[in-house]
Amino acid sequence: MDWGMKNRISRIIKPEAGRAVMLAVDHGYFLGPTSGLEDPGKTIKPLLPYADSLMVTRGVLRNSVDPQENIPIVLRVSGGNSIVGEDLSKEAITVSIQDAIRLNVSAVALSIYVGSKYEHQTLKNLATLVSECEGYGIPVLAVTAVGREMVRDAKYLSLACRIAAELGAHIVKTYYCEDFEKIVKTCPVPIVIAGGKKIPEKDALKLAYDAVNEGAVGVDMGRNIFQSKDPVGMIKAVRDIVHKNVSPEKAYGALKL
């Protein structure tokens, strides 16, 4: 692995603890004005001091994030679908490598849909993206998106994570589930977990705690942070869990709900 690639990965997975708190705000690429992200700039700004990196689309980055912010960017570069469209798995690569470099990103992110109608297309997207990004030392984060018909269990997610790694993804983002350790053991690259739909804060903090204690390097969390009644408190609590191994109970106690 070359210097640039290693340097960019260390901007996302902090070398001090080998952990990562990524703030995911890319939902609008297929969900439109997601609850809590109607005015993305307003939502993102107070959370940035506690995030190690920001996962975002090109449009929100350009329009809603101050270029003087010192936050590593993980740019979503797949899309072309919508919640009301034909099939969520019908994704293409939506940003050129030149534009990603122009935006000074630390990594790019793309979804794969193993077992879905357009599985092949999304896996080919990943392989193509990795091949292009290798030439510029830009890491690729693969998101194991789960179609409505798929079960989020260790059998399915370990299949999807391993395929992502085999095709060259440098980091994989997946879901926490029972027997999560099995997924970690069979995936040769670092794993971060998504938070998923909004759940009670106590449960979301336990999810983060369990994930890192079972081998995830961190979280790439969105709705459970920005849809909380205390978004800043929530990201601080997640940060304490991921970086300091604080218990979920203690982290929860500091929230203003």
Question: Six-digit token pair at 242?
Answer: 């991921």
**Run of H or E including 120:** helix 119-134
Identify the three-state secondary structure at position 250: helix
Active site residue 173: yes
143 contributes a contact to ligand R5P by CB under 6 A = yes
91 contributes a contact to ligand R5P by CB under 6 A = no
Q: Which residues neighbour 1 within 8 Å (Cβ) at sequence distance 6 or greater?
A: none
Nearest-approach distance from CB 95 to ligand R5P, in angstroms: 14
Instruction: Identify which of 120, 119, 113 has the alpha carbon closest to the alpha carbon of residue 142.
Output: 113
Question: Six-digit token pair at 185?
Answer: 């053991």
Nearest-approach distance from CB 3 to ligand R5P, in angstroms: 28
Q: To the nearest 10°, report the CA torsion of 122, 126, 128, 132.
A: 150
Of the candidates 45, 90, 173, 206, the residue annotated as catalytic is 173
58 contributes a contact to ligand R5P by CB under 6 A = no
202 to 241, contacts with ligand R5P by CB under 6 A?
Answer: 220-224
Cα dihedral across residues 194, 199, 155, 210: positive or negative:
positive
Nearest-approach distance from CB 143 to ligand R5P, in angstroms: 5
> Of 158 and 227, which CB lies nearer to ligand R5P in the complex structure?
227
> Of 135 and 160, which CB lies nearer to ligand R5P in the complex structure?
160
145 contributes a contact to ligand R5P by CB under 6 A = yes
Q: How far is CA 225 from CA 41, 109, 176, 230, in A?
A: 15, 20, 16, 8
Q: Pattern 100-129, binding to ligand R5P, x per CB under 6 A?
A: -----------x------------------
Question: Six-digit token pair at 26?
Answer: 């890319």
Which residues bind to ligand R5P, rule: CB under 6 A?
24, 26-27, 55, 111, 143, 145, 194-196, 220-224
Catalytic residue IDs: 173
